[in-house]
Chain A
Amino acid sequence: MPDETKPNDPTSPEAAKPAEPKAEEKPAPPAPAEAKPAAPATPKPAAPAAAAKPPAPTAPAKPAVPTPQPWETELTARLKKKYGSGIRETSTYLGQNYLVVDRSLAHEILEILRDDEDFDYCVDVTAVHYPKKEEPFEIVWILYSFPNNMRVRVKTALPEGAEIPSVFDLWPTVDWLEREVFDMFGIKFTGHPGLKRILLPDEWKGHPLRKDYSILQQDKEWVQINLGIESGQ
């Protein structure tokens, strides 16, 4: 595995992986019918084969728009075997792998990834707000494995007001990262030892990285009381 890190493309360790199984997995394309949200990727049969090739040599010359490809390795096979439809999607986009998992399984799967798959470093926890979706928040964990020099992103969707189990017990590094997600999006992590605002003042109202929070918006009351000015604008 370490040898694969040599080549030019930083993604090559990941890109190299799908390349192999891809051949033997040609029967796979029909299988992904497991109702994926990213189904539009699969309908055109030519695209997967065409897009699977380019990442292997070098990326620069690309004719078509890249689309997420199914990501099938031993790791995903093991997870799928264990959790079935709890793993909603396993894909690779531009050589970067990600899993979309059911929210109730998120903590368990992250624990498995840490303990059995050697993802011993949680790089980042963040969120994205899609106000139009039924489950508007997407939590993203970016994991890295020191032994395998490999990255993976785990994502899960969250409805408004729902809570998600903290992974503080797995990686203490998420302490401040989860606090920041709470600060910016108002997402609560259950089991976090001290969930409170981190960058904004404790009494601030509103969560600025939500899409419905305008860039000019502010907590006027807080500004007037604490800064003694009418407005920060």
Chain B
Amino acid sequence: MSNFYEDIETKPAEKTFLDSSELILNMGPQHPSTHGVLRVILKLDGEKVLGTECVMGYLHRGVEKIAENRTYVQFNPYVDRMDYVAAVSNGLGYCLAVEKLLNTEAPPRAQYIRVIMTELNRIASHQVWLGTHALDIGALTPLFYTFRDREEILKIFEKYCGARLTTHAFRIGGTQYETYEGFEKDCLEFCDFFLPKCDEYEELLTTNRIWVERTKGVGVITGEECKALGVTGPVLRASGVRWDLRKAQPYSSYQDFDFEVPIGLNGDTFDRYIVRMQEMRQSVRIIRQAVEGLPEGPIMAKIPKVLKPPVGEVYVSIEAPKGELGYFIVSDGSTQPYRVRVRPPSFVNLQALDLMVRGRLVADVVAVIGTLDIVLGEIDR
């Protein structure tokens, strides 16, 4: 992969691309199926992919640099702009990391509200994935279904915190807002509403012959390869590794809830699809339990108005919809973080693209980018 350009440049000069069966093709940066501004340079032999090279950074905003120039509280809204389809998860990870640095914890009620919001966001994120992934492969309809139903989640977000996408729902030490009148009812109604919809999506795709042929055996990656490449989240689980940070190292009261971690066996695109569909159903289970068991009490821990975490460093990670999302924060004892490092799941997972498409067809590249579920805002930061 790394010698890609050299290969091209060292080719004998008299040979033109017409003499060779190899072809260099740019996919992106503006391409509907790259899910943002991602450029993939493909080396092709006919329709066969010989190698890929990802070029990214088009959305680079220097989030980590901005963090060093803002206070802990001021930086909180910025994290929503990384993985913007799962903004709530980003916020949760950041708040947990700073709380760890302050050696404090959100009160139980805040933790439960966080779980409800995060799981709703997981469903919303998977819905965006499903709609766009199916669209890339040629199934147009699921997009309209998933975006229609995602609207219900966004309505809950809007009622709760006033924003639909970049929610900034949580604060360091808990949550800013108490639940609104009818929050529990809305959540439970959504659960009842959503499960049949989930079956509906599956009805459209799971037994659809075109879908099955485009996804079965495509982009296969084994559990060992996933671990070596640091791939986490549904991609890892679809390869047969039952590992979910919500179970392995529970945070924010996840140990209180009864849910399963679905896994796949073959590590192909179809298994990843099934795993994510199951995950949405498990999220519904968690939301139900969290709403029913929502404890009374304060929603904000006692933390000082001006945050000055003691000198030290922590790494805290959560299971975001796309994989392990980690924050490594170094404090020098001042009001601003000395260093914030975000470990973005999309960025690391995208590295597996080359392995998954090498030797396959161009059309599979589209399927594999979709199945990796990347968000460029998070890759480029």
Q: Could you list which residues of chain A lie within 8 angstroms of chain B, going by C-beta atoms?
A: 5-8, 10-11, 13, 58-60, 62, 65-66, 68, 93-94, 96, 120-124, 126, 128-129, 140, 142, 146, 149, 151, 153, 171-173, 175-177, 184, 193-194, 197-201, 208-209, 213, 215
The reply to whether A60 and B249 form a contact with Cβ atoms under 8 Å apart is no
The stretch from B18-26, B31-39, B98-106, B356-364 touching chain A is: B98-106
* Main SS class of interface, A: loop
**Chain A residues closer than 8 Å to B324, beta-carbon distance:** 123
**Chain B residues closer than 8 Å to A176, beta-carbon distance:** 347-348, 351
The stretch from B146-154, B187-195, B226-234, B278-286 touching chain A is: B226-234
- Given A173-B229, A176-B347, A176-B351, CB of A66 within 8 Å of CB of B2: no
**Chain B residues closer than 8 Å to A6, beta-carbon distance:** 255
The reply to whether B228 and A124 form a contact with Cβ atoms under 8 Å apart is no
- Given A96-B314, A176-B347, CB of A60 within 8 Å of CB of B104: yes
Contact of B315 among A8, A62, A151, A209 (CB under 8 A): A151
The reply to whether B351 and A124 form a contact with Cβ atoms under 8 Å apart is no
Which residues of chain B from 61 to 78 have any CB-CB distance to chain A below 8 Å in the complex? 62, 64-66, 68-69
The reply to whether B57 and A171 form a contact with Cβ atoms under 8 Å apart is no
Select from chain B the residue with minimum beta-carbon distance to A197: B57
The reply to whether B69 and A215 form a contact with Cβ atoms under 8 Å apart is yes
Contact of A215 among B65, B100, B314, B343 (CB under 8 A): B65
The reply to whether A124 and B341 form a contact with Cβ atoms under 8 Å apart is yes
The reply to whether B103 and A94 form a contact with Cβ atoms under 8 Å apart is yes
Closest CB pairs A-B (n = 5): A194-B2, A173-B230, A199-B57, A193-B2, A10-B249
The reply to whether A200 and B60 form a contact with Cβ atoms under 8 Å apart is yes
Instruction: Determine whether B339 belongs to the interface, using a CB cutoff of 8 Å to chain A.
Output: yes
Q: Which of A65, A93, A123, A153 has the largest number of chain B CB atoms within 10 A?
A: A123
Expressed in whole angstroms, the minimum distance between the Cβ of B211 and any Cβ of chain A is 30
- For chain B, give the interface size range: 35 or more
**Chain B residues closer than 8 Å to A96, beta-carbon distance:** 314-315
* Main SS class of interface, B: mixed
A151 to B348, CA, bound (A): 18
The reply to whether B230 and A59 form a contact with Cβ atoms under 8 Å apart is no
The reply to whether A194 and B1 form a contact with Cβ atoms under 8 Å apart is yes
The reply to whether A208 and B65 form a contact with Cβ atoms under 8 Å apart is yes
Contact of A146 among B68, B227, B315 (CB under 8 A): B227
**Chain A residues closer than 8 Å to B69, beta-carbon distance:** 215
The reply to whether B326 and A123 form a contact with Cβ atoms under 8 Å apart is yes
Which residues of chain B from 286 to 336 have any CB-CB distance to chain A below 8 Å in the complex? 301, 310, 312-315, 317, 324, 326, 328, 330
The reply to whether A199 and B229 form a contact with Cβ atoms under 8 Å apart is no
Instruction: Determine whether B380 belongs to the interface, using a CB cutoff of 8 Å to chain A.
Output: yes
A59 to B301, CA, bound (A): 13
Select from chain B the residue with minimum beta-carbon distance to A6: B255
**Chain B residues closer than 8 Å to A151, beta-carbon distance:** 315
Expressed in whole angstroms, the minimum distance between the Cβ of B225 and any Cβ of chain A is 9
Select from chain B the residue with minimum beta-carbon distance to A195: B2
Instruction: Determine whether B160 belongs to the interface, using a CB cutoff of 8 Å to chain A.
Output: no
The reply to whether A68 and B312 form a contact with Cβ atoms under 8 Å apart is yes
**Chain B residues closer than 8 Å to A68, beta-carbon distance:** 312
The reply to whether B312 and A5 form a contact with Cβ atoms under 8 Å apart is no
Instruction: Determine whether B259 belongs to the interface, using a CB cutoff of 8 Å to chain A.
Output: no
- Given A68-B312, A128-B339, A215-B66, CB of A175 within 8 Å of CB of B103: no
The reply to whether B314 and A142 form a contact with Cβ atoms under 8 Å apart is no
A58 to B101, CA, bound (A): 15
Expressed in whole angstroms, the minimum distance between the Cβ of B303 and any Cβ of chain A is 11
A121 to B233, CA, bound (A): 13
Which residues of chain B from 215 to 264 have any CB-CB distance to chain A below 8 Å in the complex? 227-231, 241, 243, 247-251, 255
Expressed in whole angstroms, the minimum distance between the Cβ of B255 and any Cβ of chain A is 6
**Chain A residues closer than 8 Å to B16, beta-carbon distance:** none
Expressed in whole angstroms, the minimum distance between the Cβ of A154 and any Cβ of chain B is 12
**Chain B residues closer than 8 Å to A58, beta-carbon distance:** 105
Contact of B249 among A59, A121, A149, A193 (CB under 8 A): A149
Contact of A201 among B57, B241, B315 (CB under 8 A): B57
Instruction: Determine whether B338 belongs to the interface, using a CB cutoff of 8 Å to chain A.
Output: yes
Expressed in whole angstroms, the minimum distance between the Cβ of B295 and any Cβ of chain A is 14
Q: A199-B60, A199-B381 are in contact. List 4 more A-B contacts (CB 8 A).
A: A197-B57, A200-B57, A213-B65, A215-B68
**Chain B residues closer than 8 Å to A153, beta-carbon distance:** 315
**Chain B residues closer than 8 Å to A194, beta-carbon distance:** 1-3
Select from chain B the residue with minimum beta-carbon distance to A10: B249
**Chain B residues closer than 8 Å to A197, beta-carbon distance:** 57
Expressed in whole angstroms, the minimum distance between the Cβ of A30 and any Cβ of chain B is 24
- Given A5-B249, A6-B255, A173-B229, CB of A123 within 8 Å of CB of B57: no
